[in-house]
Structure 1
Amino acid sequence: MLTVEQNDFMTRVGSEAPAGKLLRRYWQPVALTDELEGKRPVRPVRLMGQNFVLFRDENGELGLMDRDCPHRGADLAFGRVEDGGLRCPFHGWLFNVKGACLETPAEPENSTMYKHIQQSAYPVVERSGIIFAYLGEGEPPAFPEFDCFVAPDTHTFAFKGLIECNWLQALEVGIDPAHASYLHRFFEDEDTSESYGKQFRGASADSEMPITQVLREYGRPDIKVEPTNYGMRLTALRHLPQNQTHVRVTNLVFPQAFVIPMSAEMTISQWHVPVDDETCYWYAIFTSFTGPVDKKRMREQRLELYELPDYISRRNRSNNYGYDVNEQLSETYTGMGHDINVHDQWAIESQGRIQDRTREHLGTSDKGIVTYRRMLVKAIESTLKGGDAPLLIDASQAGEFSGPPSIDGIEKAGVDPVTYWKEADIERRRGSDWASERLPQRVGGDA
């Protein structure tokens, strides 16, 4: 159990909060590229308790600035994209993507006032359908050459969803391998050939056994946690009959992402990004190792559950997450439908806006959560002292990272699980047009 002070130390994300100072040292997802398409490429953004405006100018350049106009505080999220920047409708002040004021048209014709006006602006980049921003001081870190960042655009798909709770409890569900056997339990197995775009619905690699059957019938995984140079690797072993073992390898990418298998062909890289202390978004990049991603199909699947423009789940606290008692008795463990995002959302939102960790009792199966919290506290303390933190790399180090491997499969009898997942990862890469080119590099980016 933690004290109130320890819990606040890890969860609060304001600019002066300890965890907020740490998270500002990393690139943070702020929007999907899709959100700036259409007639008006301007979006309000709230990130770690601060308000910003994101826009794309007429030349296609991205800008992220403080949302209040430095003239008299009007909302720049209602600005006009024109004349090389974003113009405030109140008095016509114009700002480029770097925050420089280009015009103050209401001032006298010979005024040079605009030359002395600078709106706070922040670096932004696009990666695999997500726009990332850097709010920290100094030069931002480089992006490690993980699969989700180097795969061709045709082989990635990005989406997001709003969660009404603190970012830390949202992240911790992804480094908890034990919960899947209960929270995501389905009482009947479906045709695995119809599982495209759905997590925990296909067959485990190297077998015809549906992952739903594995999770339902083998609920006591042996969990191993290993430190890596990107964070940590979690290996969950479920021992099956005939000396076989189901091996599931997932990863925590510091500070707030995880990489997990979606199917034998696809992985998910997912961030939990604070809107403020009590709300966050999950952002995910789905990466295919086989053919191009069917983006239209995957988007339509998710829009059945998420409502635009704010990507709010249609099943949420206000309607009890679609809970149906008859379904809970006969179809799913939760009675909340077949989308596991809803299950996760219920679990973490039900803990409260910020989980009261003074009341929790962690067990052996929570070893990933314990390891991560220690890593997080160490990095926060180092940041407060002006020290280093994991994965703050420069461009020369980016190529030292690959993967990280995320495997969900059943090893053959007598094969060591570590040997199995490493060979399964290499085999998957050999059969991939784009990933096969990376085989000479160190798979996984281990320290």
Structure 2
Amino acid sequence: MLSAERNETLTRYGAGTPMGELLRRYWLPVAITADLPRHDLRKVRLLGEDLVLYRLADGTAHLLEDRCPHRGVALSYGMLEARGIRCPYHGWMFDGSGRCLEQPGEPADAAFARRVRARSYPVRELGGLVFAYLGPGPAPELPRYDLFCWDDAIRDVGHATVPANFAQIMENAVDLDHVAWLHGRYSQWLSGRGLPVDIPRTFSRLNDEVSFERDEYGVLMRRKLQGQAPGGDDWTVGHPLVFPNMLRVGGGGSHSFHLRVPVDDESTWLLWYTAYRPGGVPVPDPGPVTSYEVPWRTPDGEFRLDHVEGQDIMAWVTQGTVTDRTREHLGTVDRGVILLRKLFFEQAERVRRGLDPMGVYRAPAPEVIELPQEQEKFGDGLGYVRDVLAASQARFSTRLADIRRRYAEVGLPLEGHPGAMAGPGLAGTVAARKRSRTGTGVAT
């Protein structure tokens, strides 16, 4: 368990807080490129700060504090013009660096405009995402992690915002034991009670041995499943948590980054960024990086438990918006959680001492950063992909049919693969969920 003071430190991200200052040393996603067309603007909230993100007609993206320095009106209600954004209240205009370009109503020869600036932040785009840096200058290099640089793979991004603190979501990323229970055995139990869930059989095997090792990226995680032959790449390769906010995972030609972005202390933006190379073969004409929203609530407000990420979100949110770690009881299965917390506190202390934390790249940065990832995930790479497409957030992708077709074209049809067992159809989700709570339904 943590003391109340340590829990407070771990879960607060405003400017001047230890974790807030740590996370401000990294480039964080603020939008998906496909969702920010030219001549468009949107409100953004990041690390508790209200911002306005906009793209001008020339294609450049910019990020300012959502506050006009004149009288404090929100610039997110402003007007985009060729040179910048104009406040709707009195017409003051600002460029992407925050310079005040025009002050209608002030004398034309006045120097007042040169003394006024809106607060601005650097923006970079990579791999279909828009990244922002909220820390002190000079900004570090934006790390070019491999999947962001692949232009020969089908890439899409699922996203959702949930009312849960960033830290408890990141702790799930280094919890290898929850997979077989929450996504395997629990899916089977729900299906037996009538909830329409495609049972991810490859997720259901228990761990025989797990390892959490600190490495250059953050935490390298490896596992050996019960009954798995020695030498499986779940153990020999594994996959990393890239500090501070990204999990790399995948197999069978499916490669994913799970990114977690603190909106504020009580909500987190989730992104599931996936690149598909069926059979490891480059995809000709893969198309743009597309986005889709991942639903996690039923019409009556319950959690959607018919897909893997919905189950994760249930676990994160029901811990409480900001979980009370003074009441927890950690066991040996929580070694990864303990290591991650140690890294957060350690790296926050480095920042307090004026040093760069781990994973911050200064010029020259690597052209492409290749990350490790097992391919025969859970001993069945193709079965894992079938499970991902049927039972995870990927089932909501707008490119699902295209992904399945590309696998079939290289001789890897996913239909009928024995990696997973289909559950009931999609009717009756709400009623089945209620039965699972009231204790009625079919016992398993």
TM-score band, normalised by the shorter chain? 0.7 to 0.9
Do the aligned partners of residues 153 and 273 (structure 1) sit closer, same or farther apart at CA in structure 2, a change above 3 Å counting? farther
Counterpart of 1:234 in structure 2 is: 221
* Corresponding residue number in structure 2 for 1:341: 309
Measure, in 2, the Cα distance between the counterparts of 1:70 and 1:274.
26
Cα gap change, 1:351/1:242 in structure 2, threshold over 3 Å: closer, same or farther? closer
Q: For residues 129-148 of structure 1, give each alpha carbon's deviation from its aligned partner in whole angstroms, at most 9, with x where no partner exists.
A: 11100000022222333212
Q: Which residue in the other structure is 2:356 paired with?
A: 388
Amino acid corresponding to residue 143 of structure 1 in structure 2: L
1:407 lines up with 2:408 in the alignment: no
Per-residue Cα deviation, 1:400-436 (whole angstroms, up to 9, x for no partner): 8312324343669xxxxxxxxxxxxxxxxxxxxxxxx
Could you tell me how far apart the structure 2 residues matched to 1:274 and 1:51 are? 12
For residues 140-169 of structure 1, give each alpha carbon's deviation from its aligned partner in whole angstroms, at most 9, with x where no partner exists: 222333212221175422232101110011
- Percent identity between the aligned chains? 31
Match of 2:19 in 1: 19
* 1:52 alignment partner in structure 2: 51
Correspondences of 1:121-132 after superposition (within 5 Å) = 121-132=120-131
1:95 matched to which residue of 2? 94
Contact 2:156 2:289 in 1 (8 A): no
Q: Distance in 2 between matches of 1:78 and 1:153?
A: 38
Match for residue 257 of structure 1 among 235, 241, 246: 246
Matched with 2:3 is 3
Cα displacement (A) at 1:270: 1.8
C-alpha displacement at 1:315, in angstroms? 3.7
Alpha-carbon separation, structure 2, partners of 1:295 and 1:367: 41
- Matching residue of 1:159: 158
Amino acid at match of 1:101: C
- Answering whether residue 234 of structure 2 is matched by residue 247 of structure 1, we say yes
Equivalent position of 2:263 in the other structure: 275
For residues 303 and 209 of structure 2, the distance between their equivalents in structure 1, rounded to whole angstroms, comes to 31
Retained in 1: the 8 A contact 2:254–2:276?
yes
Residue of 344, 347, 350 corresponding to 1:376: 344
TM-score normalized with structure 1 length: 0.76
Distance 1:246 1:19, change over 3 A: same
The within-5 A match list for 1:321-360 is: 321-322=303-304, 336-337=305-306, 339-360=307-328
Structure 1 CA distance for aligned equivalents of residues 284 and 267 of structure 2: 33
Shift of the alpha carbon at 1:294? 6.8
* Aligned amino acid, residue 31 of structure 1: A
Q: Is the 8 A contact 1:147 1:404 kept in 2?
A: no
Q: CA deviation at 1:296?
A: 8.9
3-state SS, counterpart of residue 178 of structure 2: helix
Aligned counterpart, 1:415: none
Is it true that 1:72 corresponds to 2:71 in the alignment? yes
Find the aligned partners of 2:315 and 2:162 in 1 and give their Cα distance. 11
How much is the aligned-residue C-alpha RMSD, in angstroms? 2.7
Give the distance between the partners of 2:36 and 2:366, measured in 1 at CA.
Answer: 28
Aligned partner of 1:137 in structure 2 is 136
1:395 aligns to what SS in structure 2? Answer: coil
CA distance, structure 1, for counterparts of residue 49 and residue 141 of structure 2: 24
Structure 2 equivalent of residue 215 of structure 1: 203
Offset at 1:366?
A: 1.5
Q: TM-score, normalised by structure 2?
A: 0.76
Instruction: Give the direction of change, closer, same or farther, for the CA distance of 1:67–1:129 in structure 2 (3 Å limit).
Output: same
What is the aligned partner in structure 2 of residue 187 from structure 1?
A: 188
Distance change in 2, residues 1:405/1:363 (3 Å)? same
User: How far does residue 59 in structure 1 lie from its aligned partner after superposition?
Assistant: 1.4
Instruction: Structure 2 unaligned segments of length 5 or more: list them.
Output: 192-196, 381-444
> How far apart are the structure 1 equivalents of 2:47 and 2:16?
11
CA distance in 1, matches of 2:164, 2:344: 19
Q: State the secondary structure of the residue aligned to 2:302.
A: helix
**Cα distance 1:346–1:411, how it changes in 2: closer, same or farther (>3 A)?**
closer
Q: 1:221 to 1:214 in 2, by over 3 A?
A: farther
Deviations 1:78-135 (A, max 9, x none): 1111131011111111111111111011223333322221111000011111110000
Q: 55-64 or 247-256, which moves further after superposition? A: 247-256
**Paired amino acid for 1:387:** L
1:155 and 1:376 mapped to 2: Cα distance? 33
Secondary structure in structure 1 of the residue aligned to 2:303:
helix
Does 2:192 align with 1:224? Answer: no
Structure 1 residue 385, shift from structure 2 partner: 1.6
Moved more, 229-238 or 244-253: 244-253
Q: What is the aligned partner in structure 2 of residue 206 from structure 1?
A: none
Counterpart of 1:9 in structure 2: which amino acid? T
Does structure 2 conserve the Cα–Cα contact (< 8 Å) formed by 1:237 and 1:245?
yes
* Closer, same or farther: CA 360–293 of 1 in aligned 2, 3 Å: farther
What secondary structure, in the 3-state scheme, does the structure 1 residue paired with 2:357 have?
coil
Contact 2:146 2:368 in 1 (8 A): no
Q: Aligned residue for 2:273?
A: 285
Give the corresponding residue for 2:81.
82
Find the counterpart in structure 2 of residue 112 from structure 1: 111
